[in-house]
Amino acid sequence: QVQLVESGGGSVQAGGSLRLSCAASGYTGSNYCMGWFRQAPGKEREGVASIYAGSSSTFYGDSVKGRFAISQDNSNVYLQMNSLKPEDTAMYYCAATDGGGCVWTGGLRRADVNYWGQGTQVTVSS
């Protein structure tokens, strides 16, 4: 059973930076995807960024391209968030799959997620 433990998050002013971390345990091999979703109050959970562990291929949502960067170190995944905007305020969830399907779908889709983290709050003030 894969478990995800998140850390990071917090409050920052617009234009600032934050870094989220997600540690995965229980994986063997590298045929899996990990990534981040976020959900703001009253809105649906949306994909932010994802990475395929086997090749480190990365995928980003349009709203964060050029500002966020996802990276991987063994079974740890990081989300560096720069130039943060108030609209980035949300609960951020680490997510992971049992296979590498995100490579074929252009990123991790909510329906394909097998494991979720507990969530960490990011608040950006103007």
State the Cα–Cα distance between residues 67 and 97, nearest whole angstrom.
25
Residue 29, pLDDT > 90, answer no
Mean pLDDT (whole number) for 27-40: 94
For residue 22, CA distances in Å to 3, 112, 125 come to 10, 18, 24
**Local confidence band at 28 (pLDDT 50, 70, 90 cut-offs):** confident
Mean pLDDT (whole number) for 10-18: 98
Mean pLDDT (whole number) for 82-101: 96
**Local confidence band at 25 (pLDDT 50, 70, 90 cut-offs):** very high
Residue 41, pLDDT > 90, answer yes
pLDDT score at 53: 92
pLDDT score at 36: 98
**Quick one: which H or E segment has residue 49?**
strand 46-52
pLDDT score at 39: 98
Mean pLDDT (whole number) for 12-21: 98
Q: Are 91 and 119 in contact (CB under 8 A)?
A: yes
Q: Kindly report the average pLDDT of the chain as a whole number.
A: 95
Q: CA 75 from chain center: how many Å?
A: 13
Q: Read out DSSP for 60-84?
A: E-TTTTTTEEEEEETTEEEEEE-S-
